[in-house]
A and B are shown apart, each in its own frame.
Chain A
Amino acid sequence: DGGITQSPKYLFRKEGQNVTLSCEQNLNHDAMYWYRQDPGQGLRLIYYSQIVNDFQKGDIAEGYSVSREKKESFPLTVTSAQKNPTAFYLCASSRRQGGDSYEQYFGPGTRLTVT
C-alpha cells in the first residue's frame, strides 16, 4: 500500500542533543513537507521541498534542518538551537506544489519530548 511512514512514533531526548526524524513516502510525490503541531496552534510549516536536492524554509525553520537526497525521503533534524522542540511533528507529501493545488497526504507523526 502506498503511503507515508514516520519513525519513531515517540522519541525522547535530552536537552542539547540533535535528533533526526525520519519520513519516507512511496506515493511518487514530488513535494514533501514538515509541520510542527502544538496544542491550539494548528499546523505550522517548518520546511518544504518541491524536488530532490532543493528545499525552502517555512514559517518556523529556525533550529531545524532538512535534506532531500532522494525523492522518497525527507528527514528532519531538530538541532540543539531549537529552543522549544517538544511537539508533534508531521510529515506530508503532495503531487507537486506551486501554481496548482493538490491535497497533502500526512504521515502518522512523531511525538518528540525533550527534557
Chain B
Amino acid sequence: ETGVTQSPTHLIKTRGQQVTLRCSSQSGHNTVSWYQQALGQGPQFIFQYYREEENGRGNFPPRFSGLQFPNYSSELNVNALELDDSALYLCASSLRGERTNEKLFFGSGTQLSVL
C-alpha cells in the first residue's frame, strides 16, 4: 500500500451538482496531484499543489478547483457537473525533489458517476 487514501470510493451525482473529493497524502510528502482517468484511457493531469498553492494545471476548466491543507491532505472540487466528468479520480502524493525522477504514489481513486 502507498499510504495515500481517498474518499469516498464511489459517488453518484446528477448533472449540475457539485462534488468534493478528498485525499490524504503519504506521510512526509509535500506535493499532491490530481488526475482524471476516463474509461479505457490513461490518467490525465488536472492540477498539482505544493505547499498549499496550485503549482501547475492541465487542460481542465476553472470549475475544477482544489485545496491543499497544512497537513498536506487535499480536496478536489468540481462545480456544475457534466456527464463527461464521469471518471476515476486519482490523487497522487510525492516529495518534491529532482524534477524528473520524482515518484508519484497513487491512491485507489474515487469513481464518480454523473447521471
Q: Is the pairing of A and B real? A: no
